A and B are shown apart, each in its own frame.
Chain A
Amino acid sequence: MSPRANPGTVLRDTTHVGSDGEELLLDVRGLSVEYDTPNGSVRAVDKVDLQLRPGEFLGVVGESGCGKSTMLFAIAQLLNPPARIAEGSVTFAGRNLVTMTASELAPVRWRQVSVVMQSAMNALNPVKRIGAQFADAMKAHGVRSRTEIADRSREVMRLVGIDATHLTSYPHQLSGGMRQRAMIAMALLFTPELVIMDEPTSALDVVAQRSLMLQIKELQQQLGFAVVFVTHDMSLVSHFSDRLMVMYAGQAVEVGPTREVFDTPRHPYSIGLLDAFPSIRGPRVPLTGIPGAPPALNAMPPGCRFAPRCPRRFDDCDAAVPPLYRIGTAPQVVEAGAEVEVRCLLHRDGAREPEPTGPVPTAHREETL
């Protein structure tokens, strides 16, 4: 790996420190995204907090229209009008990306944070060879040497298990799985510290999906980057992510270690999502899925946003949006990132300390420590 390819090592000294004293690569606080419409603005992402340690794999799951992709775009500073970040901060390696200008962002983009888009079919340019697209990305980020471009392109292709001869292929000459791999190879050109993935496997069939997931995990362990992985297929990330965030109607409704969320889902929405999967083992049981649909952005329920579809709804649910309750054992025993947070009144008694519900200050909270 060339030294140029990994400029992040310098910046890591300034890495953010979380409230638990551990270093954070990505610290998202109170991030809200609004879309401006002729009838006023609607909020697609509502005060999401998200912390990611270096090398961590975070899965984000939820139905379509829950704000998953919008949140990713907001983190990567890729939102276009009418979408805009209404409040909150995205602190990456110690710097708030939200307040940075385009020219300040340019060296961070792709070198430190790269994005793998949902549909490789549309994300790759159909009239340019794969290698030319790799070269474009490298040139745009300051690599001038042709041999270095060629070497690095071959290296990333090898990493994702595609023969380097395909650098001279056009996207249509590759199968769906190979195109998706090529996209991932492109995201790895600069050995970024964070790779954001928006449903990279949803167009693939199970076998290709599985092999791609294994590959991503392998690369992640080998190269040490952190991953934010968005999918609507909860079972897909079950074996691969360290932590899981369940989103509903723009809010995080449950956050915790993946195994914990799968084994003991606490929010009725997480339970519903998990129960929507038929299993290929065990008895065949009738399932119901989750009746209804997520609320429209301009007609959010006043209380818990899941209440209209919730099988365990009670009167208090309509009063106010529940905070994220922290569930777990005594705070001193809780390992960093191991606690579970649930936005559901059913868990208010077992909670340790509710998160504040008011607007989260965008200032760095860790300074108070």
Chain B
Amino acid sequence: MSTATAPSAGDTATPPEGALLAATDLTRTFRVGGWRGRKTLHAVDEATFAIGKGEIVALVGESGSGKSTIARLLAGVYRPSSGDIWFNGRRVSALRSRGEQLAYRAAVPMVFQDPFSSLNPAYRVNHGILRGLKLHRPDIAPADRMDEAIRVVEAVGLRPAAEVLQRYPYELSGGQRQRIGFAQALAYQPQVILADEPVSMLDISIRIGLLNVMARLRDEQGVSLLYITHDIASARYVADRMMVMYAGRVVESGPVEEVLGNPRHPYTQLLVAAVPDPRAALTVTAEQAKGEPPKVIDPEPGCRFADRCPLVRDVCRRVTPPLLELAPGDGAPVLAACHVAAEQAGRGAESAHAA
């Protein structure tokens, strides 16, 4: 697992070192309020993060916190409003030729949430995989494409692969379809798979099987994954690092065990307390779990969690807390964007006087 340090804000000219896929000050805004609307919704604001080689990074947060927008920015579905995406040290926005863009899309494919609508019902499941191979893998001779398709389908645990490939999507269960989604992504020889809530539509009993597939792709194929979810328990099960988003901002990141075992941001604390755990007693802290994440339209400076935060102070409403390194962590540093947590870690002054 590579270390993934966030460079300081404003340092956008150079990519984070050693990162496979990284973002610096990534921002995406949408204009809202009708066709002449003057308001802007900040879906993702100044997100800086990196994904290393062969690691699973979980991106967690409430619905509407900007998780899927990040995935779409990384996949090239949206263009960033500002900030940069870096792949292998190169700016993605600088990839001009069709060949370069295709290569990026093959290296960073996406797996979608809904396995029932993301496969074309009119074609056998081999269709999508073979088309992907034709487009993205010119090194494979047309006659060998079926062999490669069989290999990727076996890699996601579907057997007998040759027979599965001849089926139509309706003949497969939800879990099997989602595995086909991963097989499709795998066919492109990806380096980072963007998985947007890949298991949330599946039954509990088969979720684990798919999470195990993700872990196996990392261990056996060396693929990195960005695992987007609101299910923290599953994120802990499969991920190496975790990033927590709130209202468009990354508020905490670090090794999974550090973030969940010792959450520093009050929002992470709330999130951890809200996870239903049949093995634990009902926690009292979750009683305050009322309220909703704000829609971030034309934001004022200040912490976006301030209105729900039990630890709120004056400074929180004036200064947007920067994402600061608060502890070394095991393998990757623990970062949090909270004035109170920064003070406890001895960096309160830096946090409160951030530009």
Interface residues of A, Cβ cutoff 8 Å to B: 63-64, 161, 175-178, 204-211, 213-214, 232-236, 238-239, 262, 272-274, 276-282, 284, 286-291, 293
Contact with A along B33-65 (1 / 0, CB 8 A): 000000000000000000000000000001110
Chain B residue with the shortest CB-CB distance to A288: B208
Contact A235:B237 (CB < 8 A) given known A161-B290, A178-B292, A289-B206:
no
Residues of A near B277 (CB, < 8 A) are 235, 238, 279-281
Contact of B234 with A282 in the complex, beta carbons under 8 Å: no
Encoded as 1 (CB less than 8 Å from any A CB) or 0, chain B from 265 to 285 comes to 000001110111111101000
User: Smallest CB–CB gap between B203 and chain A, Å?
Assistant: 5
Contact B207–A289 (Cβ < 8 Å): yes
* Further 7 A-B residue pairs, CB within 8 A, beyond A234-B204, A284-B237, A288-B208: A176-B63, A210-B289, A234-B278, A235-B277, A277-B204, A278-B233, A291-B209
B203 close to A177 (CB less than 8 A)? no
Which of B205, B230, B280 is in CB contact (< 8 Å) with A281? B280
Which residues of B lie under 8 Å from residue A177 when comparing CB positions?
292
**Complex Cα distance A28/B236, Å?**
41
Q: B221 within 8 Å of A by Cβ?
A: no
Chain B hits for A288, CB < 8 A? 208-209, 212
Return the contact of A276 from the options B208, B260, B280, B290 (Cβ within 8 A).
B208
User: B residues within 8 A CB of A293?
Assistant: 173, 175, 206
The reply to whether B278 and A274 contact each other, CB–CB distance below 8 Å, is yes
A276 adjacent to B278 (CB under 8 Å): no
- Bound-state Cα–Cα, A198 to B98, Å: 49
* Interface, chain B (partner A; CB < 8 A): 62-64, 173, 175, 203-209, 211-212, 230-234, 236-237, 260, 270-272, 274-280, 282, 286-287, 289-292
Q: Which 4 A-B pairs have the closest CB atoms?
A: A289-B208, A278-B237, A238-B278, A205-B230
Assembled-state Cα–Cα distance A284/B236 (Å)? 8
| Chain A contacts for B286, CB-based, 8 A | 210-211, 214
Residue of A nearest to B236 (CB): A280
Q: Given the known inter-chain contacts A279-B233, A289-B207, A289-B209, please indicate yes or no for A206 contacting B271, CB distance below 8 A.
A: yes
In the bound complex, residues from chain B placing their C-beta under 8 Å from that of A287 are: 208, 212, 237
Q: Determine how close the nearest CB of chain A comes to the CB of B164; give it in whole angstroms.
A: 14
Whether the Cβ atoms of B292 and A272 lie closer than 8 Å is: no
Once A235-B276, A284-B237 are accepted as A-B contacts, the answer to whether A206 and B203 lie under 8 Å apart by CB is no
Closest to B289 in A: A211
Asked whether, in the complex, the Cβ of B236 is within 8 Å of the Cβ of A289, the reply is: no
Known: A281-B279, A284-B237, A293-B173. A63 touches B203 (CB 8 A): yes
Bound-complex Cα distance A286 to B209 (A): 10
Q: How far is the CA of A291 from the CA of B230 in the complex (A)?
A: 24
CB-CB under 8 A from B287, the residues of chain A are 214
Contact of B292 among A64, A208, A276 (CB under 8 A): A208
Expressed in whole angstroms, the Cα–Cα distance for A280 and B229 within the complex equals 14
29 contacts between A and B (CB under 8 A): A63-B203, A161-B290, A206-B271, A207-B62, A207-B270, A207-B274, A208-B63, A209-B276, A210-B274, A210-B286, A211-B274, A211-B291, A232-B203, A235-B278, A238-B277, A239-B276, A239-B282, A276-B204, A276-B208, A277-B278, A278-B233, A280-B232, A280-B272, A280-B275, A281-B280, A286-B212, A287-B208, A289-B204, A289-B206
Neighbouring A residues of B63 by C-beta, 8 Å: 176, 204-205, 208
Q: In whole angstroms, what is the CA distance A184 to B175 when docked?
A: 31
Q: Are B232 and A262 in contact, CB atoms less than 8 angstroms apart? A: no
Determine whether the beta carbon of A289 is less than 8 Å from that of B205. Answer: yes
Establish whether residues B289 and A273, one from each chain, have CB atoms under 8 Å apart when the complex forms: no
In whole Å, how far is A300's beta carbon from the nearest beta carbon of chain B?
17
Contacts of B278 in A (CB 8 A): 234-235, 238-239, 262, 274, 277
Partner of A272, one of B205, B260, B274, B291: B205
Nearest Cβ on chain A to B101's Cβ, whole angstroms: 33
Q: How far is the CB of B275 from chain A (nearest CB, A)?
A: 5
* Complex Cα–Cα for A85 and B247 (A): 48
Chain B positions within 8 Å of A64 at CB level:
203
